[in-house]
């Protein structure tokens, strides 16, 4: 899976959101699974960062959870045979 260098230049708290939006608004059905995987990876990286942070981040945790849920729903819509297994 090829990473987009533009997203690597963004801070992690912004990069995941950019990749998330790219997955949601991708119009090429063949590219959607890769976009979802990239977004999920970035979101999980952000979750790891927040896990070790000594700050209150409950709201961001919820936003990240919601984004992961939406990506899973999108994956099930794009590849319904995967959810049947």
What value does the mean pLDDT take over residues 35-55?
94
What value does the mean pLDDT take over residues 13-40?
95
What value does the mean pLDDT take over residues 11-19?
85
| Confidence tier at 23 by pLDDT (50, 70, 90) | very high
Do residues 35 and 26 lie in contact, with contact meaning Cβ atoms separated by under 8 Å?
A: yes
pLDDT at res. 55 = 86
pLDDT at res. 79 = 81
Sign of CA dihedral 66, 67, 70, 72: negative
Say whether pLDDT at 81 is over 90: no
| Percent residues over pLDDT 90 in the chain | 68
């Amino acid at each position: 899976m090829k990473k987009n260098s533009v997203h690597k230049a963004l801070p992690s708290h912004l990069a995941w959101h950019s990749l998330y939006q790219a997955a949601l608004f991708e119009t090429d059905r063949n590219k959607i699974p890769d976009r979802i995987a990239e977004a999920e990876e970035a979101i999980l990286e952000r979750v790891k960062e927040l896990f070790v942070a000594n700050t209150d981040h409950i709201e961001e945790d919820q936003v990240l959870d919601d984004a992961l849920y939406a990506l899973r729903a999108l994956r099930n819509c794009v590849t319904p045979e995967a959810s049947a297994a």
